[in-house]
Every structure is written in structure tokens, then in C-alpha cells.
Chain A
């Protein structure tokens, strides 16, 4: 064997050892610094670009693809350009450097992400670089090729795999029915809520109950009760007329805080009245007259004349107005507020 032949044999052995790397643990193959070029895919065909290291024992390959796979990409939806390096062996056997952003035509890069995967079914691992792209306008678009640098160990020299770019066609914007449905539903719900609120407001405004007037003061209530006394006379029930008149007078006395007895007799009231100051005594004479007349009618079967009935009404009204003046003010206020 000649020297030239021995030199060729030595070079081949070194190349095989480098190609196998630490994963395979085999003899490395020859290092090819020249990126492997994947043939450009046809326009409109599913975008896929592949590259692989020319090694028999260790193999690494790279591919580029676009997801989702379409012939025409709607101008209003983003798409993912994915560059993936896949090799046989463990995930940590190969360190893949994040590639530079590809050159873009009629596209904009929204965001990038990196993910590593293991594939136990095939004994492979992969590094995935995802570029989310947004179409700029309708028409032809292009994603430039990328170079994936990798190394199989810290002391090993870096190699690179090259993937070709892909051509895309950006078509008309697609209606996103799901989004439209979601927004439409939200809008309909909003409209419904606004309509319901409006309806409630309308009903409240249009059919608002008139505000209840403040409750009358106790003396106003008694005066109203006294004003309705004549119904008993219309029915011919004078005993009921005077019974209620007496009740009103007693309530007025109690409200004025003058007489603490629950229901005083006319005599008891007269005796009490005698112990009061002159002005108060004179002021309360009408109340005494009501009580006495009530006793005559109710217990002596007296039949008063119409004039006497009118006089009793006047006495009762006079008694109430005088009692109201005597009544403590805070009591009236409390009663009114309650």
C-alpha cells in the first residue's frame, strides 16, 4: 500500500469517529462544514425543508415547516414557521443554538418560542424553534432559510445544518367564525343586559308608585277619625258615635300625657280636672263634656238631639286641638317620624 493510500484511510477513520459522536459512541464521521441544502419546496405545496448530516452512525437532520399546512394562508390569521433539529439519541447529546430570525417577505414575526422534545417511540430527540408570523398583505410571501448550529459536546466544533426558505401565498382574510361567534354572543348578551336594564328602568319610571305620604301625626289621625264619626249617626247608632268619640278623647288625653289612666270615667276625669290649673281646666272642659255626654248616651240610653250631636263633635274637635297644643312636642315629632 502506498503512502497516499494510507493517508486516505486515516482521514476516513477520523471522519467516521467524528460523525458517530458521543451519543452513538461510534466512530466519528467526517465533519462537513458546508451546510446541507434542502431543495426548495414547490410554491403552494406544504412547506417542508429537510437537512441531514452525512453520517452513517450519527445522524441529525433539520426540517422547516409551516403550520397549519395550507395552500393559501388567510391574511388575518397568524401562522407558525417551525425549524426543528432531530437526532437519534438523548436530548442532551446535542446542543442546538437558537437560529437567527429568518428573513421575511410580506410577513412579520410576532413572537418566537423554543421547545425540546424526546420521542421514545423512535429513540429520537428534537429541538424546535417556532416563529409565529403575521401576514402583512395578500400576495406572495417568503420565509428565508435558516442555519442551525449544533455541537455534540463542549469540546467539539460546531456544525451547522441549513434549511431552505419556504414560499407562501397570502390570500383573503378568513372569517374567524369562532371568534365572530364569541364576540357576537358577548355582544348579544350585552345588548340583552342593556335592554333588560332599560326595560326595568322604564317600568320603574313609567309605573312608579306614587310616594306614600308621610304618616299623619297621632292628632291628625285622631282628627280624621273624628271626622268620620258621622257615619254612626247615618246608621242611627248613637251609642257607637259616642263610644268612639269617648275613645278618641281618651287617646288624645293619653297622647297629651295628661291622664295616665287607660280609660278614665267621666267622674275620674272631672276629679282630676279639678286638681289642674285654671287655664288647663278651662281648656279641657270640652273633653269633659264629651266624656259626660258619652256616658249619658251609652249607659242611660239617652237620645241626644241633632244639635247635641253637633255640639259633641265640636267639643271633641276643640278638645283635640287643645290637647295637641298641650302635648309634648318631641312626642308628636317621634310619632310623626315613626
Chain B
């Protein structure tokens, strides 16, 4: 069901073959990169794929899962594989914004203040347990995520590219935490829910990690510069008007489910923002890129749709009372909105 006025104007026919060739060329590193990460991480293919989507689109990722699911290890391995500068920040209640972005230090030799950049100046930031830091630290991080620059004293410093924040939060132990406001959660492109590994994977983890001394050598597969170049190829991935309309329909269905005859209206307090539309398209392109495809198909949208929309659909008290989760609602929407 297309809303009137949302169809894009007719564009000149794209050279899909050229795009396909470009994507195949630029995406050759993907399999090698996934292979390197798989040397360390058992399973969690969806998480690794979403992390790559985040890197390829510049979209930040919020990971939610109980401790011990290799969230930190996965991010560290990814950073090693692309030889990017990696910083891990353990968010605690006494953390200050300066601990994150840096501060001005007085130099006694020359009697001047010089900036000391904080750990945020890295390619990959792992903000561990982001909900344990107070709101002002969260704001400082999220502002940097949005602006991709940091101001220390009166000097503004651009952040390195690629710049990606991977934040984790623990769904349990909510005491003494500062839950992220919806407006700040919305800045994360993807919210991943990490689940336990399967029995076979658990056995494999035991085999690999059973020794007290582990020696994993992850080879560098790609440079940060190549990642930036790959991003341009991702941007070039063709997305048809029918897919664009499908994305708009999905986002509108979160706001006006009744128009799409989806019986979840009483469960939704607020639907997804236009940022969801943007991120759905970008993530779908990156997903197609990971599949070495130069065009988006509906399956790309469906695959990443839940991770893009689950934290953007705010449910009502009625939904909470009936133990309906955002995942339930989003899945229902994907099942009901007609695929082009």
C-alpha cells in the first residue's frame, strides 16, 4: 500500500551491471573478514554481519545481551581484522565527559594548555554497559556519534573515519543504571539482541577456549581507508523505487498500522521516525553489499528490518501489560505489509 506522494520521481536507468561489478570488486574483503572473525568468534553470524553493516554505513550499533556472549571479543576481533584503532570504555556511574572526550592539560614547560584527546578518538569504540554512566556522559558520547566531532575547550576536533560506536547494555541488573532516553536510542542505527549460542556452537566454544592461554592471530584483512572506500560502493548500490516504497510502507505501518490492516494499533504509542526510513535503506544497501550484490532486494530489507525498527517503536502500557514486545509488533508488521 503506497501512500500518495511518496513515489520518487523517475530517475535515469542506472547501469546495474557497472554497479554489480563495482560491488563485487569492493566487497571481496567481506568473506575474508568474516573468516578472520570466525577464527575467534563461534557462531553469532548475525551479530558479525550487523557489525559490518554498521562499519559500512557509519551507523552505530547497540548490542543488548547478557554478559559472556562475546560482544566485546567480537568488536575487538573486528577492530584487529581491519587494523583500526580500538578503544574500550567501561561506563561507570562516576565517569565524567572529560574521561570520554578529553580535556585541556597545562604544560609547565611552555606554560600553555594543550588538548589531551580522550579515548573517543578511535575508529571503533566499545562503550561497555552504556546505561551505567550518568546522562551527561551518555549525552557527550551520543553528541559525538551524531556530529562526528568533539570540541575540547574552544577547539573542535573531527573524529577519525571510520568512526563507529558499539555500545552494549545488559538487560538484567537494572538497578543503579541510567536507561538511555528514546531520543538517544534512536541515534543507534541498529539494536541487536544477542542470544545464547546453540548447543553445537557451545561445544565449539569449549574446544577453542578451553585452554588457559589462548593464542588467536587475526590477520589484517582491510584497512580503515578501504572501509571508507567500500562505503562509497555501498552508497552506489541500486535500490529500486518499489523497494523504496516498501520501506516507506513499513515505517508508515509502525505509525498507522490500521491503514495497513495490521491489528497492533493499540500496542503502539509512537511509530518509527524518518531516521528509521533512512537507516532501513542504508542498512539494506549494506546487506546487499555483503552479499556481493549491486542491488537491493526485499529480502535485504526484511533481514535487517527488525534490528532497525525494534528500538524505534514505542509500545503502550497495554502492550506491556499483555507482554507484547517490540519484536512481536515489528514481526507482525513485516508479515503483513505486502512485499513488492
Residues of A within 8 A of B (CB): 261-268, 295, 298-302
8 Å CB interface, B1-50 against A? 13-14, 16, 20
Across-interface contacts of A298 in B (CB, < 8 A)? 240, 242, 340
Q: Which one of A262, A267, A301 contacts B240 once the chains associate, using CB atoms below 8 Å?
A: A301
Residues of B within 8 A of A (CB): 13-14, 16, 20, 238, 240, 242-243, 293-299, 302-303, 335-336, 338-340
Write the nearest CB–CB distance from A271 to chain B, whole angstroms.
9
Interface SS of A by simple majority = loop
Across-interface contacts of B238 in A (CB, < 8 A)? 300-301
Cβ–Cβ contact B242 & A299, under 8 A: yes
Write the nearest CB–CB distance from B241 to chain A, whole angstroms.
10
Across-interface contacts of B243 in A (CB, < 8 A)? 299
Across-interface contacts of A299 in B (CB, < 8 A)? 240, 242-243, 295-298, 340
Cβ–Cβ contact B297 & A266, under 8 A: yes
- Please measure, in the bound complex, the distance between the C-alpha atom of A301 and the C-alpha atom of B10, giving whole angstroms: 13
Other A-B pairs beyond A267-B299, A295-B297, A295-B298, 11, CB < 8 Å: A265-B299, A265-B302, A266-B299, A267-B297, A299-B240, A299-B242, A299-B243, A299-B296, A300-B238, A301-B13, A301-B240
Across-interface contacts of A265 in B (CB, < 8 A)? 297-299, 302, 339
Write the nearest CB–CB distance from A185 to chain B, whole angstroms.
66
Interface SS of B by simple majority = mixed
The 7 closest A-B pairs by CB, nearest first: A267-B299, A300-B295, A265-B299, A263-B339, A299-B240, A265-B298, A301-B16
- Please measure, in the bound complex, the distance between the C-alpha atom of A265 and the C-alpha atom of B284, giving whole angstroms: 14
- Most-contacted residue by chain B among A267, A295, A298, A300 (CB, 10 A): A300
Cβ–Cβ contact A262 & B335, under 8 A: yes
- Please measure, in the bound complex, the distance between the C-alpha atom of A166 and the C-alpha atom of B135, giving whole angstroms: 138
- Please measure, in the bound complex, the distance between the C-alpha atom of A295 and the C-alpha atom of B16, giving whole angstroms: 13
Write the nearest CB–CB distance from A122 to chain B, whole angstroms.
96
Across-interface contacts of B335 in A (CB, < 8 A)? 261-262
- Please measure, in the bound complex, the distance between the C-alpha atom of A267 and the C-alpha atom of B303, giving whole angstroms: 10
Cross-chain pairs A/B with CB under 8 angstroms, 30 sampled: A261-B335, A262-B335, A262-B338, A262-B339, A264-B339, A265-B297, A265-B299, A265-B339, A266-B297, A266-B299, A267-B297, A267-B299, A295-B297, A295-B298, A298-B242, A298-B340, A299-B242, A299-B295, A299-B296, A299-B340, A300-B20, A300-B238, A300-B240, A300-B294, A300-B297, A301-B13, A301-B16, A301-B238, A301-B240, A302-B16
Cβ–Cβ contact A300 & B16, under 8 A: yes
Write the nearest CB–CB distance from B243 to chain A, whole angstroms.
6
- Please measure, in the bound complex, the distance between the C-alpha atom of A268 and the C-alpha atom of B339, giving whole angstroms: 12
